[in-house]
Amino acid sequence: MSALTLMSVMLASSASAKEKQPILTGTRSALTQSNSLFGPTGLMTVPTAYTADPGQVAFGASFGDGVRIPSINYGAMRYVEVGGGFVDRDNGRNRFIANAKVTIIPQNFGSFEVGIGVIDAMDAINQTAYFVGSVDLTPPNWDPTGRVGSPIALKAHGGVGTGFFQERIFGGAELLFPNQFSLLGEYDSENFNFGVRYVHDDRFRAQLGVQNKSIFFNTTSIIQF
């Protein structure tokens, strides 16, 4: 699928998405809102169906296996994010990449969202179109403070993509604990990666883990306009 075709589908989908009401519980807690390695909202290296909130600017800095990427995401409207990053590689020329994603919430499925997106839309390195679903398995009585209710919650993600994902499946999960911590595990279509995420507040979060047997570190700082 070409980037132009994908963007046309995304823009058409966004018109429908704009009419839906926002999800008020569970699916969009702070623990889901971090820039992934190449920029899109996601886990460590793989995107999820979630997008930056409207008017939100997320600045990311990722240090992975042979690569360093500062990135930015902007919530252009409800369920639509656009952004990009600068890919600094050990074994390749450095390049700017452009990204975009649209979230679709199927009717009557409040805990399930679908994302359609593109990484490196201009094909500076490896144009990647992807389709991903995210499901929120958070118990109704989960309390992020840990004072009452269920002590843990779970979000699961799975999709398929071209380019960086080699026309294979990818996926992952977030195990949420009280007091702003979560455990992450993912399969990026080639390697299994895992890490820990800490959310300090609505404006800052950090991740530390292992990507393809190398140390992975990521921070995301958020400004809301």
Q: What's the pLDDT at 207?
A: 97
Q: What's the pLDDT at 109?
A: 74
* CATH number given to 3-224: 2.40.160.40
Model confidence, pTM: 0.84
**Among residues of the chain, what percentage have pLDDT more than 90?**
66
Q: What's the pLDDT at 139?
A: 79
From 114-118, 135-139, 202-206, the region with the lowest mean pLDDT: 135-139
Give the residue, 201 or 3, on which the prediction is more confident. Answer: 201
Where exactly are the structural domains of the chain? Answer: 3-224
pLDDT band for position 26 (cuts 50, 70, 90): very low
Give the residue, 132 or 137, on which the prediction is more confident. Answer: 132
Q: What's the pLDDT at 56?
A: 94
Average pLDDT for residues 131-139, to the nearest whole number?
90
Identity of the amino acid at 184: L
For 171-211, how does the pLDDT look when each residue is reduced to its tens digit (9 = 90+)? 999 998 877 889 999 999 999 999 999 988 889 999 999 99
